[in-house]
Every structure is written in structure tokens, then in C-alpha cells.
Structure 1
Amino acid sequence: MDAHGAPADPGDDTMCMVCYTQTSDREALSPAGIKPCLCGAAITRAAMRRIEADLSRREFLGGSAAVLALFAGLGLQPTHVQAQTAGARPPLLLTNLRFFDGRMPRLQTGRDIVVRDGRIEALVPTGQGPAEAQRIDCGGRTVIPGLIDAHWHATLVGVSQVAAMTQDVGFVHLMAGRQAGATLMRGFTTVRDVGGPSFGLKLAIDRGVIDGPRIYPSGAMVSQTSGHGDFRFLSELPRMPQDGPSYTERMGAAAIADGRDEVLRRTREQLMRGASQIKIMAGGGVASMYDPLDATQYLEEEMKAAVQAAADWGTYVCAHVYTSQGIQRAIRAGVKSIEHGQLADSATIRLMRDEGVWWSIQPFLADEDANKYTDPASIAKQQQVASGTERAFREGRSLGVKMAFGTDILFNPQGAASQGRQLAKLARFMAPLEALRLATGSAGELLALSGPRNPYPAPLGVIAEGALADLLVVDGDPSKDLAFLGTPEQSLKLIMKDGRIHKQALA
């Protein structure tokens, strides 16, 4: 090959494949000779590099314009492009409103909300917003922060349990994508996914490919053999060393791990995938067929392995568990968030408060909105959990435990639509604005436990300067009741996430 990458003639003469000049080897090597070809000279090569760089830059700009035009034609503008162009847009100014800030249990007035570049830039006195702002008249309605579901299963809510265990995983993901858009249209702009293969869905939403809530993913639920995350059939037992993972493990819904070393491995795999927190199964469950509800799962040393692996990455572990014994063991191991816990006794609830552990709790009432089960054992366990729900809410609140709202709607595509109704039910146990705080400011504090693994490191669930601009304009008075959340199609007049309007139905 010659200096330009062209094949050289094997004879005495060589030809430059750039200028097609033929030169004998003797002439080219002669100190006194005059070379008719200067393509290989240093000055020529430098000039060629400059020309190629300029052509590459022009090609890139032209190609980028074509790609952006394609995305614009489809209505799918990539997130990074939005960020580049956002500064050129005027800010948004929400006026003629009252608002709940996600923290104080009262409605406030006398302020307008300025939104710029995906953040709440300022809360300004009424009528004093930027002159160049695009005004949105809220018509005297109430503005609340975007809602947060702290216990959601983004990829497992939109299919039945049979479908999740047997159908092609591509179908499961497509159904999850459809549910993501519906979740956002219910006003839930953020979810903490506590079990399931939601990493790809999160990426698609973050890049603007599809609409949906921002996702804090846990990845696969880490479970012991026979635990709440072991969805194998009895015919698959026993597992032998040469056996591969089960279907639910292959799809990323669960990770079965026994012993300290295996728990470390599976926890680290979820962190490698991008988990913002880790979910372990510390007790029996309703949806699983074989483990009793009162079973305590994972030895304390196994739980500590997950906690240490998560802490090494700057984040935390949450634990599915209902009973006092399981909760106490999880707290001793360093778990920071208890999921469910409806069967906790008073001493355990006080321990949660004293240790500063979060209680991610759901209104499990075995009513028309509950997850549907046909197995008699699961139905009985569901009734047992429901019997402790009201006492758990009232005692947890009276003792001052840090609480956040979640739904845990699972394998229930029809029930997913009840997400807002589930939140409204909390007003049975506390004042409506206190209930709303559990799904806004308090839930945002829980999400912040992810520390450096927080994929969206800005205040969430609040209307405050610097917070992410997730805002809902509602027809309803949240200081009186939250029933309007059950009819989002009519009651949510504006839905904003990251400063982008996804729904605008204001007059």
C-alpha cells in the first residue's frame, strides 16, 4: 500500500492513485531527482487532513439536520435536542391560580409560576412575571406537583400474571410502553419501579421516544428460593447446578439468590444495569402461590450483603415485607424503606420511626380496586393484609413515621386505571392535603435516598424554585377531598412534565 492507502504497482514504476503520476523508484529515491508527485509530502498530507475535517463537519451537520427533521415529522424529538433548543424558547408563566407546594398542608395564593428549561425558575408575585413569557391562564384552578407512585411495576402492571410468566418478553414490553403513556395521563409524572425489567422503558421515555413517567428502576426483585420472587412452578424443582435461570429470571423480573455470595452477585448485577435502588423480598406475599404470608425470608446476613453492596454504590435497599419479625430483621440489616408492612405491630412501627426508616405503604382494602386473584390461598392472604391496612395508616401517622404513597397494582391491566382513586382513598385516614403530600413532597424525599444513583438529581414532588417542572392544573379542591384524581380525563386540565406540556385542556 502507498501513503494514500492505494495499492502500489509491483514493478519498478509506481503510480500515485491520487494524481495518477508514474515515477520510477530510482527517481523517487534520488537525492538530486525532482519528484513529479508531491501527494506524499508532509505539507500535502496536512492540507488533505484539513479538507477532510471540513467535509466531515459539513456531512455531520447536514446529516443531523436530516435526522432532526425526521424526528420532527414523527413528533418524536430526542431529549438531548430539546435541551439544546430549550434556551431559545421563552419561559412559561402559569397565572391566575392557587397552588399546593407539596410540603405545607395548605393552598397558597398570590404567586405565579415561572417555568424555564424544564425547571421551576421562580415563584413571583402575581402579575410580575417575565414580559417575554408565554402565559398560561389557569382560570383560578389549583396547581399541584406531578404525582409520584413510590411502589409501581411499570412492566408488570399491563399484563396478567399468566402472560408475564409465559408470553414473549417483547409483548410484555410493548404493553408496558402503552401503560407508560396512560400512567402519565393520570397525572403520575414519576414512579419508583420496585421490580421488573424497566431499564429499556426508562431509556425510551428519557430519550423522548415514548411518553411516560420518569422511572426510578430497581431491576429484578432479589429473592431467596421459595421466596416471594420465586415464580417457578413446582415441576421445575429441584434446581440443579447445571440448570439455567427460570423464565422470570431471564426476562429480568426476579433474581433468585441464596447465601451471602449469591445475594452480592445478583445485587451487583442490578446496579450494573442501572438500578437506582435495590428491592429484596424479606417476607411472604399475596401474589406468590407457595410462600406463607407470615414466612420470614432471607437471613440477616444475606440482607446485610445486599445492603452493603447497595451502600458501596451510594444507594439503598427497600424490602417487601408485611410482618413485624420480617420488618425488624430488615431494619437491623440496614434496609431504608419498608414496602407494605400492613401487619406491623406497635413496637415495630415505633422502631421504624426511631430508625428513620421510610414506610412505603399502599391502601390495600380488598375492595373493587384490589388486584384480582383466583387462587384461594392468595385471596385469603389478601383479606389478611386488608385487615391491617387501616390501623397501619392511622398508627404510622400518629407515631410520626416517614410515609410515602404507592399502589403496587400488579398483573392487573384493568386495575391500572384506579391509580388516582387509590391515592384518593388515603383521605379516609388523614386530611386530603396530608394525603396528597404522601404522593408529592414526601415521596420525592424517599426517591432522593438514591444519592449519587439518582437518575434525576433535582427536587421532585414540590413546587419550589429549582424543582423539576412537573405540574398539574386540576378541576377540584384538594383541601376538601381528592375524588377528582379518580377521573383524570375530566379533572386534569394541564399535565406538565420537565416543563413540557403533555395535555392542555384549559379554556
Structure 2
Amino acid sequence: MIVRNVRVFDGISDRTLDNVDVLVEGAHILAVSTSPVAGDVSDGVVEIQGNGKFLMPGLSDAHVHLMGNANSMMDFLQGPTGVLYGNTIAEAKRMLLRGFTTVRDMGGDTAPVKALIDRGSFEGPRIFPSQAMISQTSGHADFSFVYDVPEEFGGKPSRTEDIHFTRIADGVPRVLAAVREQLRQGATQIKLTLGGGAASMYDPLNTLQYTPDEIRAAVQAAGDYGTYVATHVYTPAGIARAIDAGVTSIEHGHLADEETIKRIADAQIWLSMQPFAEDDHHYPDPVRAGKNTEICHGTEQVYEWAKKYGVKTAWGTDLLLEPQSAPRQSEMAARLGEFYSNVEALKMLTSGNASLFELAGERNTYRGGRLGVIAEGAWADMILVDGDPTDDISLIGDPDSNFKLIVKGGQIVKNTL
């Protein structure tokens, strides 16, 4: 395939390059050239005339819940398991059509979905699965009913554990077993919940979840497999405990203070943030709605401190249990431009997130090419945009209208030219 005469944003540079031809062979980019690339359609070469349009790497999302995006809480609790996976596969294709060619899934049984997509059975993004979110009893990922008896006392796993969306593990031995279970099932990194959240029922935001010994055990078990632990946590105390235990990625962090953000920078770990607005999630009860409001109010200040101290910052969405809100993923990507320059935002949405994903080491099954860039040898994951997002980042918020061509792994997913 040759995409001719495009304006290229390569995912890394501050400036775009005009009048470029991009040659794709198989699943990879073979050449990025300011001179015309030779090719003959009679030899089976597909030529796409870009006519000066904007070509960029495929978008990425560092914090999705594909299964959670696609299903409601009632689906989880009462829906047939086959329907849960069918909805997940359908949402994977919709996500790809929004231009997201790579995602890191932070809770849900997506390793089987990843395998089917990678095999070509279904269309969807590349997936870095965490498998089940690991939580203590009464923690952020405890979706059992209040009257359920914990497993420690002879009770049965909850429905969300049965479908591998969550795993409750208390004490070092069970945490070790839970981490190793997710790795056995195909996790590329481990998701641990270390504090309260808006979506959870039993934990105020200020709770500290998991002891230092339990967290260190998870970090060691993940490290033994060459990968890392990412932690759901909002507060300074929780983040401090996570850093002390050796985690690699703080997921959220919206309630952090300036000292804590500086400490994240000094530790050279990642802050995986989401530009939350209050109406991204809808909670009918006042307690969870209040927690959501408190979280959202911390967004702008944390981004400012992250920029001030040079924190390695990734971008994600964390949309969950409201399938009707899944398309907000595109809106939230464009919203990143409220906190960063357009070019900074586009870098984070492409090569920046990819740098975090690649910390999975040999657990990363996409090591055969670079992610998040338009460069020789990279995976041919590309979007042709009608307009220039470096001038107007809102364009990526409407992929149906503005994404004229989407290519993943050298395969045309969408072409409306």
C-alpha cells in the first residue's frame, strides 16, 4: 500500500512534514519519504491519494475497560456470559472505528478477545490486557453484595470474579496467587486497586487498601515475569504507599497534592491520568456522585503539577458500566487539549502511551514493530484526518466525520475517501 501526498505527524516530532509518501508492506511501514515512492497498481499495490490530508499514528488509550465499556452492571450480574463477550467484541470494533488502534485494558477478561483479534477473527484494537482487577475485600473492585460471605470465611466468589472481571485476594499468599493467575491467563501487566473509587460501594476515597507487604508481593510476582504493577489510587497517602512498594504506574491520582506529584516525578514512574468531567459518569446515589465530583475537581491542578515537574504522563478514559457513554472516548481524547498544547496532547495519545505499554517487556506480543509512530519499521497503524489536529484538536472528537482512512496492521479498516 502507498499513501501518497500526505502531511505527516509522526507521533514524536513537534512539526509535521508535508508532501510525504508512506509505503506499507504487510503489517509494517516500509518507508516514509518526501520523494515519490515507486509502485505499480498492476502488481497489486494499493494506492491511496491523500491529497495533502493529515496522516497520524493510530490513537491509543492507556486505561480502558473493554468489557466494562460494553456492558452495564446489570449485564455483569444477570447477563449470560456469552452476551458479555459478544458485547465486548462488538465494542472492540467500534473502538477501532474511533481510531483507537491500541489500548491497555485495566480490568476484564480481554486476553481471549485479544487472541481472536490478533488472529484476525474479529476487528478491534491491539490489546494489552491486565485481566482481573485485584482487590482486597471491601476494596475498589469488590463487587460482591454486602451480605455475601468473603471467601476467607468459606464464601463463594462473586459473579464478577466468576467472569474474571475482578479477583478478591487478602493476605500475601492470596495476592501472590492472584497475580500469578492473571499472568497465567495472559495479562501483560497487573492491575491492583489501592484506594477508594467513585464506582465502588464500600470504600470512601480516603481508604488505604492493601498493606505494604501485600503490594510488594504483587510487585515482586509481576517483576518475576518481567512486567509491572499499575495501581488504582487517588490520594497522597495511597500514592506514597504505592511508590514505596515499587509500583510502576499510578492510575488516576486526581486527589494528589503538589508534593506527591513531585515525588512521582522523582521516582520516575508513570501517572496514567484521565481528563474527567463530572458528566462522564452518572451515579444515581449521592455518595458515589459526591466522590465523582471530588475526583473531577482535582483534574486541572494535577495536570498543572505534572507538567511543572515533568512527570511521565499517559492518557486514558476509564469509562465503565455505562455502554451508552463509550463514544465519549473520542471526546475525552480531544479534551486533553484543554490541559496541553495540541501537539503535546497528540504525542501523549500516540507515542507517549506506547512507551508505557512497552514496559510489559516480553509480555508485549507486539514487539515486532514500534507502536504509536509513523516511521520505518513501525506497525502500519494510521489515521488520515480531514483537517489538522495540531491546529484544531477537536477534530479527533468526531471520528465519524473527520477520520477518512483508518489502517491497522496494514489492513484498511475504514476508507471514505
Q: Does structure 1 residue 480 correspond to structure 2 residue 391?
A: yes
Instruction: Supply the distance in 2 between the matched residues of 1:354 and 1:309 (Cα, whole angstroms).
Output: 24
TM-superposed deviation, 1:356: 1.1
Instruction: Supply the distance in 2 between the matched residues of 1:355 and 1:399 (Cα, whole angstroms).
Output: 11
When residues 239 and 168 of structure 1 are mapped into structure 2, their CA distance, relative to the original with a 3 A threshold, is same
Alignment of 1:48-63 (within 5 A): none
Match of 2:374 in 1: 463
Aligned with 2:182 (options 270, 280, 290): 270
Match of 1:52 in 2: none
When residues 504 and 214 of structure 1 are mapped into structure 2, their CA distance, relative to the original with a 3 A threshold, is same
Q: Does structure 1 residue 108 correspond to structure 2 residue 20?
A: no
Match of 1:414 in 2: 324
Match of 1:170 in 2: 82
TM-superposed deviation, 1:240: 5.0
TM-superposed deviation, 1:365: 1.6
Alignment of 1:11-160 (within 5 A): 92-130=1-39, 133-160=45-72
Q: Does structure 1 residue 197 correspond to structure 2 residue 109?
A: yes
Conservation of the 8 A alpha-carbon contact between 1:96 and 1:138: yes
Three-state SS of the structure 2 residue aligned to 1:136 is strand
Aligned with 2:292 (options 365, 371, 382): 382
Instruction: Supply the distance in 2 between the matched residues of 1:294 and 1:279 (Cα, whole angstroms).
Output: 19
Q: Does structure 1 residue 255 correspond to structure 2 residue 164?
A: no
Could you list the per-position Cα deviations for residues 449-491 of structure 1 after superposition, in whole angstroms to 9, with x for gaps in the alignment?
A: 0001102113101111111110000012111121112221111
Q: Give the aligned residue type for 1:442.
A: G
Aligned with 2:219 (options 293, 304, 307): 307
Identical pairs, percent: 45
Instruction: Supply the distance in 1 between the matched residues of 2:371 and 2:90 (Cα, whole angstroms).
Output: 24
Instruction: Supply the distance in 1 between the matched residues of 2:297 and 2:306 (Cα, whole angstroms).
Output: 15
Instruction: Supply the distance in 2 between the matched residues of 1:274 and 1:364 (Cα, whole angstroms).
Output: 29
Instruction: Supply the distance in 2 between the matched residues of 1:388 and 1:242 (Cα, whole angstroms).
Output: 40
Three-state SS of the structure 1 residue aligned to 2:362 is helix
Match of 1:428 in 2: 338
Instruction: Supply the distance in 2 between the matched residues of 1:293 and 1:169 (Cα, whole angstroms).
Output: 31
Match of 1:73 in 2: none
Instruction: Supply the distance in 2 between the matched residues of 1:331 and 1:105 (Cα, whole angstroms).
Output: 32
Instruction: Supply the distance in 2 between the matched residues of 1:120 and 1:334 (Cα, whole angstroms).
Output: 37
Instruction: Supply the distance in 2 between the matched residues of 1:240 and 1:434 (Cα, whole angstroms).
Output: 47
Alignment of 1:391-410 (within 5 A): 391-410=301-320
Match of 1:294 in 2: 206
Conservation of the 8 A alpha-carbon contact between 2:23 and 2:37: no
Three-state SS of the structure 2 residue aligned to 1:439 is helix
Instruction: Supply the distance in 2 between the matched residues of 1:241 and 1:387 (Cα, whole angstroms).
Output: 39
Aligned with 1:364 (options 272, 276, 284): 276
Q: Give the aligned residue type for 2:57.
A: P
Unaligned runs of 5+ in 1: 1-91
Alignment of 1:322-341 (within 5 A): 322-341=234-253
Conservation of the 8 A alpha-carbon contact between 1:112 and 1:129: no
Conservation of the 8 A alpha-carbon contact between 1:336 and 1:358: yes
Three-state SS of the structure 1 residue aligned to 2:13 is coil
Match of 1:20 in 2: none
Q: Give the aligned residue type for 2:23.
A: V
Could you list the per-position Cα deviations for residues 264-295 of structure 1 after superposition, in whole angstroms to 9, with x for gaps in the alignment?
A: 00000000011000000011111001101111
Three-state SS of the structure 2 residue aligned to 1:301 is helix
TM-superposed deviation, 1:303: 0.5
TM-superposed deviation, 1:397: 1.5
Q: Does structure 1 residue 227 correspond to structure 2 residue 227?
A: no
Three-state SS of the structure 1 residue aligned to 2:253 is strand
Three-state SS of the structure 1 residue aligned to 2:17 is coil
Match of 1:502 in 2: 413
Three-state SS of the structure 2 residue aligned to 1:342 is coil
Instruction: Supply the distance in 2 between the matched residues of 1:430 and 1:241 (Cα, whole angstroms).
Output: 49
Structure of greater Rg: 1
Alignment of 1:182-193 (within 5 A): 182-193=94-105
Q: Give the aligned residue type for 2:173.
A: D
Three-state SS of the structure 2 residue aligned to 1:97 is strand
Q: Give the aligned residue type for 2:415.
A: Q
Q: Give the aligned residue type for 1:344.
A: A
Q: Give the aligned residue type for 1:109.
A: D
Instruction: Supply the distance in 2 between the matched residues of 1:499 and 1:386 (Cα, whole angstroms).
Output: 38
When residues 252 and 106 of structure 1 are mapped into structure 2, their CA distance, relative to the original with a 3 A threshold, is same
Unaligned runs of 5+ in 2: none
Three-state SS of the structure 1 residue aligned to 2:320 is coil
Conservation of the 8 A alpha-carbon contact between 2:229 and 2:248: yes
Conservation of the 8 A alpha-carbon contact between 2:151 and 2:157: no
| TM-score (norm: length of structure 2) | 0.97
Aligned with 2:192 (options 275, 280, 290): 280
| RMSD of aligned alpha carbons | 1.2
Conservation of the 8 A alpha-carbon contact between 1:424 and 1:481: no
TM-superposed deviation, 1:241: 3.8
When residues 283 and 240 of structure 1 are mapped into structure 2, their CA distance, relative to the original with a 3 A threshold, is closer
Q: Give the aligned residue type for 1:97.
A: V
Three-state SS of the structure 1 residue aligned to 2:326 is helix
Could you tell which deviates more after superposition, 121-130 or 336-345? 121-130
Instruction: Supply the distance in 1 between the matched residues of 2:218 and 2:339 (Cα, whole angstroms).
Output: 34
| TM-score (norm: length of structure 1) | 0.80
Match of 1:318 in 2: 230
Q: Give the aligned residue type for 2:394.
A: A
Instruction: Supply the distance in 1 between the matched residues of 2:357 and 2:38 (Cα, whole angstroms).
Output: 31
Instruction: Supply the distance in 2 between the matched residues of 1:433 and 1:420 (Cα, whole angstroms).
Output: 17
Q: Work out the number of aligned pairs and report it.
A: 413
Could you list the per-position Cα deviations for residues 167-192 of structure 1 after superposition, in whole angstroms to 9, with x for gaps in the alignment?
A: 22211111111111100000001110
Three-state SS of the structure 2 residue aligned to 1:219 is coil
Instruction: Supply the distance in 2 between the matched residues of 1:392 and 1:96 (Cα, whole angstroms).
Output: 40
TM-superposed deviation, 1:232: 0.8
Instruction: Supply the distance in 2 between the matched residues of 1:106 and 1:339 (Cα, whole angstroms).
Output: 30
Three-state SS of the structure 2 residue aligned to 1:285 is coil
Instruction: Supply the distance in 2 between the matched residues of 1:400 and 1:280 (Cα, whole angstroms).
Output: 25
Please identify runs of 4+ aligned residues in structure 1 that moved more than 6 A.
none
